[in-house]
Amino acid sequence: MRALELKGICKSFGTIVANDSVDLVVEKGSIHALIGENGAGKTTAMNIAAGLLQADRGEIWVQGVHKSPFRQPLDALLCGIGMVHQHFMLAGAMTAFENIVLGSGFMPFSKKKKKEELLALAKKFGILVDLDMPVECMSVGEQQRVEILKVLSRKVSLLICDEPTAVLTPQEVERFFDQLRLLKIQGTSVILITHKLHEVMRVADQVSVFRQGRVVAHSKVSDTNAEALAFAMLGSRVAPVQVIRRPRSADKVLELKNCELKPGAHVSFDVHAGEIVGIAGVEGNGQLELFEALMTTSSLKRSIVVDDRLVSGVIPAWSVWENFILGNQDTFFPHGVADKQKMRQSCMQALQEYGVKPLDCDARFGTLSGGNQQKVVIARALYQQPRCLIAAQPTRGVDLGAVALIHQKLLAARDAGCGIVLISSELEEIMSLSDRIFVLFRGAFVGIFTPDTYDEALLGRCMGGTH
């Protein structure tokens, strides 16, 4: 039986066509991966399936039954469809528990019993969540765990996960995949939106490739390989980024001494010109506190990339060029007078250099796909050739092509003498780019690695507190 079928789904935002006659079939009790570049339309199609958006045209079928277009997520939930979003749908002032039970109906329940049920569910799926903590006090990784637990508590028959492994260690990813396989055995269908092709090959049964708003390829995972999928996604092959290790300069651009990130846990480290220092760890172990501490250190021409651009990095309602100048005001406002021509020209040059789509500096920033938004953020951070860059999750939720471009730009900045602090939950990214790696666990460094000692299993154990 087909758990979900989309027929001829079309969706446009003004002149931008997000979905162009999308046809998709998801079999019951299967794990179905959706891949494609940022802006290819996969998340839009799933937002329609989950009731967050309404299609302009097209049909939705659930378990062989034709459904009227969903007007809200509750309509989809009543049909057994739940979605864990890349950008979270949580009320910041409420606790994790309040967020989870919010929208579950008005049936009376025992708070104590409900908490016990949620804790049992969290334990079953290996999801560590403090139910009494306000969401606004949580890290990005902790918030994602709340989202996953919230959807699982609805007892959905079709679970849609948008980039669910971005904040997990390799060991946690394995446990998460084990649970997905268990859900499949029990008859639950899973749609996995991901940019990680190795995840597709390891856990998915079928895969569909989105490009420019259409499904351009579909196959059983057993009938394809990562290289073929990458080519289908991009229409070309992605050249591997060449990383050349260089001797460390004596010139320090940043130094942090005896900083307390968690009660009783202190860290010290420095960053030299022309090196990338990677900070690895499961989110919630002091990354946010470290990032904030680094904001107060003295360094020359420091630039930042925040981990959640839509919350504290940009103003989505403003245009692309207006967001591009944020942080670069000293360049664009000489003597306190705005040089609007230079602003727009500089922004347009950056859009061209970074391959941002659409090539429109007047477009509202919030209408860009996640990957294109991140390209603008990286271009802005590197515009003035900073001596020090603090980059938190620079490629989160970004497609293969954009990841390669961002990595190239970071390495070029390093080679030009920039000292970079790379805070990332992507262990592969940390290992491939970093000249030194510090592993953070509960606010302290529990491991320090150099390229000759990089080992994914050992790093993963350090991240999990077993070292």
Q: What is the mean pLDDT of residues 75-82?
A: 93
Angle value at C-alpha 378, between 246 and 408, nearest 5 degrees: 35
Phi, psi of 262, rounded to the nearest 5 degrees: -130, 155
Upper half-sphere CA count for residue 78 (Cβ side, 13 Å): 12
Indicate if the pLDDT at residue 408 is higher than 70: yes
pLDDT > 70 in the chain, percent: 94
Residue 105 or 458, more confident = 458
Measured between alpha carbons, how far is 51 from 82 in angstroms, rounded to an integer?
A: 9
| Cβ count near 452 (within 10 Å) | 6
Measured between alpha carbons, how far is 88 from 167 in angstroms, rounded to an integer?
A: 13
| Residue recorded with tokens 């139910």 | 131
Exposed, middle or buried by CB within 10 Å (0-12, 13-18, 19+), for 333?
A: middle
Look at 2-11, 28-37, 228-237 and tell me which has the smallest mean pLDDT.
228-237
Could you tell me the pLDDT band of residue 239, with boundaries at 50, 70 and 90? low
Measured between alpha carbons, how far is 328 from 65 in angstroms, rounded to an integer?
A: 54
Phi, psi of 62, rounded to the nearest 5 degrees: -120, 120
Number of residues in the chain? 467
pLDDT tens across 426-457, in order? 888 999 999 999 999 889 999 999 988 888 88
Q: What is the mean pLDDT of the chain?
A: 88
Indicate if the pLDDT at residue 178 is higher than 80: yes
pLDDT tens across 384-403, in order? 899 999 999 898 767 788 88
| Residue recorded with tokens 């196959």 | 219
Letter string b/e over residues 155-165, b meaning 16 or more CB atoms within 10 A of that residue's CB: ebbbbbbbbbb
464 contacts 171 by C-beta, under 8 angstroms = yes
- pLDDT of amino acid 141: 66
Residue 183's contacts (CB-CB under 8 Å, 6 or more residues apart) are 159, 190
- What secondary structure does DSSP assign to 77-97, as a single string? HHTTEEEE-SS----TTSBHH
Pairing of strands 57-62, 65-67: antiparallel
- Predicted TM-score (pTM) above 0.85: no
- pLDDT of amino acid 463: 84
pLDDT tens across 255-313, in order? 999 999 989 989 999 999 999 999 998 777 888 899 989 987 766 568 999 887 877 88
Indicate if the pLDDT at residue 207 is higher than 80: yes
